[in-house]
Amino acid sequence: MKENTRLVLAGRHPEQFAGVVNTPVFRGSTILSRTMAEWEDRKKRRSRDEHGATTYGRFGTPTHHALQEALAELEGGHRSLLFPSGLAAGITALTALLKAGDHVLMTDSAYSPTRTFLLRVLGRFGVETTIYDPTIGAGIEALMQPNTRVVYVESPGSETFEIQDVPAIAAVAHKHGARVVMDNTWGTPLFFKPFAHGVDVSIQAATKYIVGHSDAMLGVVTCNEEVWPQIKATSQDLGQTAGPDDVYLALRGLRTMAVRLQQHQAAGLLVAQWLQQRPEVESVLHPALPSHPGHALWKRDFTGACGLFAVILKPCSRAALEAMVDELALFGIGVSWGGYESLVIPFTPERTASPWAGAPALRLHIGLEDPEDLIADLERGFAALAQTQAKESAA
């Protein structure tokens, strides 16, 4: 089946719910058995890891099982697990694969809270982390150590948008017996297939494009068969679970994700191309633009682009930047992305291994509004920036 068809059908079993199209919301903790034989059978099925088998609500309800089944199929992995946030998903995967004395290689472009967890929490328990340049590719071999157990990638980085050569990095990691963990939130299951590119564990903040409506928090880990037992056991050891209402919203959002992403992609490219022509703009960090340093890798490995990218402005004062952002009416100021609404936020990335000189910088998420209206809004913002600069020059 084609991808859009699979997106509609994956994880759906209406025959189990009186023909209801969407898997209902199951809010439950206790799962009753009528007989001891049924109880023992439930436990055996769960110990055999049969899909949908459960003995307690924390291990998932039919609502959870439907989304997990769909996401594993779409990403091309063995199994998926759900978490209360993308960060919870990421740190559980890392905790599952690491122990005291191990070494991790983490890309300098990684989501900052994940980086902080490695350095501040796992570092306290004897895990060593080396931050590497995201553009290193196969050169990462020079950083591998005998105790390197995980190589963490995020492509593109969700602030600075470097595209990583994931297959080359994965080949080196596997040669040295390390696992590759990837944050695939930007690519989504539709635009990047992590397991086809050598990834062992894929993380997504389902809060973003899977939910798609800025009204639920959710994370997902999808993994290959080899690491599944470690991921599953650690998730249960840490008591990780996700609320069924948020899971239901993700299931509902999943069905329209392809349609939404096509609009995000088309509008995002239109706005990015327009920004490239603005005299106030130094550069536009959008992987689908031929001018992007990682465009060739993006074109090779990805099948599309979402609505998230960054803009580096030419030097201006903080007051001028604030005047521009404050003037925007259609872009909300907020840290998330992937919803139907457009967002803007200034940022200064945390860097260790690779220098960053792009300032001032704005991260934009292009939502589902008409791109002509968004461009007109940005024009008003640039006018406010110019007006503030003129006042500063006259002062």
pLDDT digits (tens, 9 = 90+) for 84-115: 999 999 999 999 999 999 999 999 999 999 99
Per-residue model confidence (pLDDT) at position 120: 96
pLDDT tens for 3-21 read 888 888 888 888 888 888 8
Of the residues 58, 299, 351, 380, only one is catalytic, namely 58
pLDDT tens for 159-175 read 999 999 999 999 999 99
Per-residue model confidence (pLDDT) at position 332: 97
Q: Among 59, 65, 60, which Cα is nearest to 17's?
A: 65
Q: Is 183 a catalytic residue?
A: yes
The whole-number average pLDDT for the span 347-366 is 91
Q: What is the pTM of this model?
A: 0.93
Per-residue model confidence (pLDDT) at position 217: 97
Q: Is the pLDDT of residue 381 over 90?
A: yes
Of the residues 12, 42, 108, 111, only one is catalytic, namely 111
pLDDT tens for 192-223 read 999 999 999 999 999 999 999 999 999 999 99
Taking CA atoms, 149 is separated from 115, 127, 142, 199, 281, in Å, by: 16, 10, 15, 14, 41
Q: Which two tokens mark 134?
A: 């995201």
Handedness of CA 230, 236, 237, 239 (dihedral sign): positive
Of the residues 165, 183, 246, 301, only one is catalytic, namely 183
Q: Is the pLDDT of residue 241 over 90?
A: yes
pLDDT tens for 131-147 read 999 999 999 999 999 99
Q: Among 249, 195, 190, 189, which Cα is nearest to 218's?
A: 249
Of the residues 179, 193, 208, 260, only one is catalytic, namely 208
Q: Is 58 a catalytic residue?
A: yes
